Chains A and B, each alone.
Chain A
Amino acid sequence: MAKEFARKNIDFIFLYTREAHPGENYPAHRSFEQKLAHARAFREHFKVERPILVDDLAGSGHNLYGMLPNMTYLIGRSGKVLFRAEWTDPPTIEYAINYVFQSRSRRRDGLRLAPFYAEFVGYRWNDPAKFQEGLRRAGQQAVDDFARTTQRWQKQGPRPGRIELSE
């Protein structure tokens, strides 16, 4: 997707944050060098071609943008946030980018379009098997910590800030 959109004047970058699910193989960062090493391992493992920017050890940049583990922001040349999502989901991103491009194009064609604030519910593809594989890559501790947290969530009921829809 990054390559496809590169033709359309949009850069895709990856911002490396703290480890969301630290484990024996990839523990919590205790030095910037360690964070760089994890970012390199990430690049190799997923064959990432986008530029990777590594946030500082304290997570200063991550903190400015809301600290979620895998969020996405689309920022326009105006320096304004045009789209953002709690989770990174390629079809949702494609939808948002196309919407922005189409709107600009219609505007250039002379249509009077006024920007406005809008929200919608995203639907992301959730693959539990692949997620567990990721946890195992981090180490058994990551698997156990997630299992323990899931049990707690189930006891607690609906989680604040989460959207639950049956349709």
Chain B
Amino acid sequence: MTNQTEVEEYNYSVFVGSEEFVSFRTLLPVGSSAPDFQATLLETGQPMKLSEYWKKRDVLIEFGSLT
């Protein structure tokens, strides 16, 4: 269970610039197995595993937010 402080740290309320550009380079190089996780499909509100997509077809995933 993730604690409240970690949740608030992740969801920062003031932008100070991403520090993750350095670690990104070594995290999941091409050829790595994509880690699976569950997220909520907005359309239905149902949980969905990412692997459900790549089991059937190639999948292009864009990460982002409104802001």
Contact = CB atoms under 8 A, between A and B. Distances in A.
Interface in A103-158: 115, 117-118, 134-135, 137-138, 141-142, 145-146, 149, 152-153
Contacts of B62: 12-15, 50, 70-72, 88
Contact of B65 (A9, A16, A66, A84): A16
Interface residues of A, number: 87
B3 to A, nearest CB: 9
Interface in B24-51: 24-25, 27-35, 37-43, 48, 50-51
Interface string A50-91: 111111111111111111111111111101111110101000
B20 A75 contact: no
A160 B22 contact: yes
A45 B66 CA distance: 9
A117 B30 contact: yes
Given A79-B51, A81-B32, A149-B17, A38 B63 contact: no
Interface of A: 2, 5, 9-23, 26-30, 36, 38-43, 45, 50-77, 79-84, 86, 88, 93, 97, 100, 115, 117-118, 134-135, 137-138, 141-142, 145-146, 149, 152-153, 159-162
